[in-house]
């Protein structure tokens, strides 16, 4: 049965589907992007072409993944676990406000706000964090979405080596270069400023 369904799907892989169309049984396939599970059935939730991806070798689940691809995607929306690129707008004693610009590798179409709390800036000595020595307005930061937060903003974290400030301008207007995990230097004046710097690969 599984073989027949997957073979059949392979033959018709170019067929366009619309929301609500039956794609397969949840016992034999995993619902990917553009599909959802209703009872024991997998149904399409977007308009596009369906594709079946075989399971990765060595995975415990030997079901193939069915997805609906090639559709017009809506703007990216931050979700817990996403890595975002954001611009710092306001720095206060206990938190910093940011505007999210990119989610994973996709630009957002709408404005999403985020908050980096004092305890989420770094993993160690979280009680000694000085927000003004970690971020400044205008800095571009890479952060992890922790949760939906309150009605106003998403809670973000930079408490990993690869998270933090990726680009910052000095007072004199030059783009600063990181010299350590806590410092950035202006190439024009040589002035050193404190930041929570993201480790660049």
Partner 1 sequence: MGKMEDRIDGRNANQLRPLACSRNLLHRAHGSARWSQGNTIVLAAVYGPKAGTKKGENPEKASFEVIWKPKTGQIGKQEREYEMILKRTLQSICLLNVHPNTTTSIIVQVVGDDGSLLPCAINASCAALVDAGIPMKNLAVAISCGLMEEGSIILDLTKSEEEKLKAFAYLVFPNSPLTVIPKVPLSKEQPIEQGIITSVTRGAMPVSGYFDCMNRGVAACAAISEFLRRSLQKQSSDDTSRAA
Q: Name the residues that contact partner 1, by CB under 8 A.
A: 4-5, 8-9, 11-12, 15-24, 34, 36, 38-41, 43-50, 70-75, 77, 79, 109-113, 148, 151-154
Residues 6+ positions from 32 with CB-CB distance below 8 Å? 53, 65, 66, 67
| Cβ proximity to partner 1, 42 vs 96, nearer residue | 42
User: Considering the complex, what minimum distance in angstroms separates the CB of residue 104 from partner 1?
Assistant: 15
User: Considering the complex, what minimum distance in angstroms separates the CB of residue 39 from partner 1?
Assistant: 4
| Cβ proximity to partner 1, 28 vs 133, nearer residue | 28
User: Considering the complex, what minimum distance in angstroms separates the CB of residue 12 from partner 1?
Assistant: 6
Rounded Cα distance between 71 and 65, Å, is 17
Rounded Cα distance between 101 and 87, Å, is 7
For 179, how many CA atoms within 13 A lie in the half-sphere containing its CB?
12
| Cβ proximity to partner 1, 26 vs 168, nearer residue | 26
Rounded Cα distance between 78 and 103, Å, is 6
Enter the DSSP assignment of 63.
P
Task: Copy the structure tokens of residue 7.
Answer: 């073979």
User: Considering the complex, what minimum distance in angstroms separates the CB of residue 85 from partner 1?
Assistant: 16
Size (the chain), residues: 201
User: Considering the complex, what minimum distance in angstroms separates the CB of residue 59 from partner 1?
Assistant: 23
| Cβ proximity to partner 1, 71 vs 160, nearer residue | 71
| Cβ proximity to partner 1, 37 vs 171, nearer residue | 37
Find out whether 37 and 23 touch, Cβ atoms under 8 Å: no
């Amino acid at each position: 049965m599984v073989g027949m369904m997957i073979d059949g799907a392979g033959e018709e892989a170019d067929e366009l589907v619309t929301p609500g169309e039956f794609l397969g049984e949840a016992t034999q396939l995993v619902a990917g992007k553009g599909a959802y599970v209703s009872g024991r059935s997998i149904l399409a939730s977007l308009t596009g072409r369906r594709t079946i991806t075989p399971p990765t070798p060595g995975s415990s689940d030997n079901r193939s993944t069915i997805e609906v691809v090639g559709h017009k995607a809506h703007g990216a929306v931050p979700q817990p676990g996403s890595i975002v690129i954001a611009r710092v707008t306001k720095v206060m004693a206990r938190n910093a406000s940011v505007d999210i610009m990119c989610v994973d590798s996709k630009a957002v179409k709408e404005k999403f706000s985020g908050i980096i709390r004092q305890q989420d800036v770094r993993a160690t000595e979280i009680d000694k964090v000085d927000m003004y020595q970690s971020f400044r307005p205008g800095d571009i930061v890479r952060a992890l979405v922790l949760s939906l937060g309150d009605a106003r903003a998403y809670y973000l974290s930079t408490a990993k080596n690869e998270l933090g400030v990726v680009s910052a301008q000095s007072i004199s207007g030059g783009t600063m270069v990181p010299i350590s995990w806590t410092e950035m230097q202006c190439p024009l004046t040589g002035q050193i400023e404190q930041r929570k710097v993201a480790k660049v690969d």
